[in-house]
Amino acid sequence: MRKTLLAGLLLLGFCSLPVLAAPPPEGGEENGTGAPVTVQAPTSLKVNVRGQKLYLRAYTTSLGDEYLVAADDPEIYRIAGLFGGKMSWDGNSLTLSCLHKGVNRTLRVNENKVQGPSSVPGAQEAELALPAQILEDKAFIPLSALEDFLDTRLTVRPNQVVYIEPLLRNVRFEGSAHSPKLILETTAPVTCKTFNLKNPDRFVIDIPGVVIDTPSLTVQHPDLGNVRLGQFELGPAITRVVVPKPRDAQIRAENSGNREVLSWQMQLSKPVEVATAAPASMEIQDVRLEKTDKGHRLILTANEPIHFDWQRLGEPRPRWLMDINQASFKPLKQEFEVDGKFPGMIRISQNQPAPNPVFRVVVDLDAAVEVNTSAGQNDRQLIVDILDKEVDPNLVLQKGHGSTQPVAQAGTQVGGGTIVIDPGHGGSDCGAMNRGLNLSEASVTLDICKRLQTILKNQGWNVIMTRTTDVDVSYANSSAREELGARCKVANDVKADLFVSVHCNASVNASSNGTSIHYYKQSDYVLASQLQSSVMSSTGRNNRGLQANRFYVLAHTQMPAVLVETAFLTNGTEGGLLNDPNYRQKIAEGLAQGLRQYAARQNWGTAKQ
């Protein structure tokens, strides 16, 4: 159960309105609220939106950086219009709706979830820190709901100054290695400024008024190396993209003005080719497609272990592509027709002949779907599972590599970079309790995280714990905001690659059960989706799925971060399981396995420097 920003603030005693709390969702889970939210004094917000300054009537809350704003305030509708959205208020159902880029989302009074259509990937419900509610006969909504309605980010500055800015949603290269096109996609039209830097030579793109979900990301190019993304400033935001630039490279902007898609065509000199390639030794001996209860399974069999690279392509339609270098395929070409939920074709071909042969698989369906790879019966067999599960192509990994050869044989460690593990609660906050077992959430999460720490260190990770004993991370009896801020500070100060917070859930309904993984940023979703399978397998409990939440430790960390609710401490069966050291070990092993898979897909080697 997540510690909220409420502890300690209720003692202040100056709230001018009743104490209100988010009603528990179906199943009665406390869902991170724990104590009721204090609605405080009325105020006026100075809101900066796309170069315009607006003023909103609002109420402050004990959440600090959250406000309640009137659902019928014309300025809210004006803000939506500045991002191409259209809002409407239904007084009968007490529902605020927002149509944005063809997707309609809603928020009802007394609910704390922005609902989106289940048919649109990435548009499902997003949970807010407090509900929309009636105050003095008027409907008010959390200001942060605008993030979900309009695909934006809010930055709250001192003196009730707020910036609402679009996101940098996607950065990718298209085209050939020596004539690549750099493409940046944002959630609203933007402009940019470009310039060159020397020693070393770099091409720099500054985009004012745009926020990166996760600062300090990199995008790889096979010849240029790492393209760095950074949040140069916040509130007002400036996003910076730095591209290594060979001295003889030519870069030409393909568009100008306010646009959601910015692109630059690059021309790199080709290296001198040395014709010393050895003939291919690998042969793809058999390819077959099988129907499964979850989709389709492509089975490749070769005469030796298979090493492969994969990527997702977006234009003119979503495709998943895999290459196996130095591999020959005697039939040269083979096609499979795919029926079912997302029909299409799977094309197999000898994409490039000897002396440098490349075997290629292209999954070309009507939608972007989840694709998983694994070794088959032995290290000469590769399984490609193509699932009947649509994904948002902007919220999944864009490329990676893999091997059917066991890691130990491949001669590399399975670790990643620097990870901060956060055992939930501790010290003056014991978290949830199972009174019958005299078992606290703080003790369970600490034990799981210590076990996870041991496993990850053995895999080559640099592991940092926010706490290693039953203590507060900040100081005893600190406010929840100070405590959660201290945990984020640990990760941000060391520039960690990942942040994982481990919790136990709780509910007033003793029958509530299951495991859930929570995310907030775009990069959080990528990590959460990679962890889901192994964590769910390890807990063996009801899969409550991936849930979007603006939890403090997810919103204020500068790296991919997830919060894992392992099981319900207040459920009789799950409380007993969490009291079992062997079960805690299984949870730790499931988390470690998912992190290992994430590191492999990110192309990390041993502990990243």
The pair of structure tokens assigned to 473 is 């991370």
Burial class (CB in 10 A: 0-12, 13-18, 19+), 211: buried
Residue 473 pLDDT: 93
Return d(Cα 464, Cα 366) in angstroms, integer: 43
CA–chain centroid gap for 543, Å, is 18
Return d(Cα 102, Cα 581) in angstroms, integer: 49
H-helix or E-strand containing 561? Answer: strand 561-568
Give the pLDDT band of residue 477 (cuts 50, 70, 90): confident
Digit-coded pLDDT (tens) for 396-424: 666 666 778 754 333 344 455 889 999 99
Residue 15 pLDDT: 30
Return d(Cα 350, Cα 358) in angstroms, integer: 6
Question: Is residue 39 pLDDT above 90, yes or no?
Answer: no
The pair of structure tokens assigned to 84 is 């191409």
As beta bridge partners, residue 321 has 311, 362
Average pLDDT, the chain: 83
H-helix or E-strand containing 356? Answer: none
Find the helix packing angle between 581-601 and 522-539, rounded to 10°. Answer: 140
Residue 515 pLDDT: 95
The pair of structure tokens assigned to 450 is 């210590």
Residue 311 pLDDT: 83
Q: Sketch out the chain's domains with CATH numbers.
A: 9-150 (3.30.457.10), 165-267 (2.60.40.3500), 282-410 (2.60.40.3500), 418-601 (3.40.630.40)
DSSP state letter for 472: -
Least confident of 167-176, 187-196, 445-454: 167-176
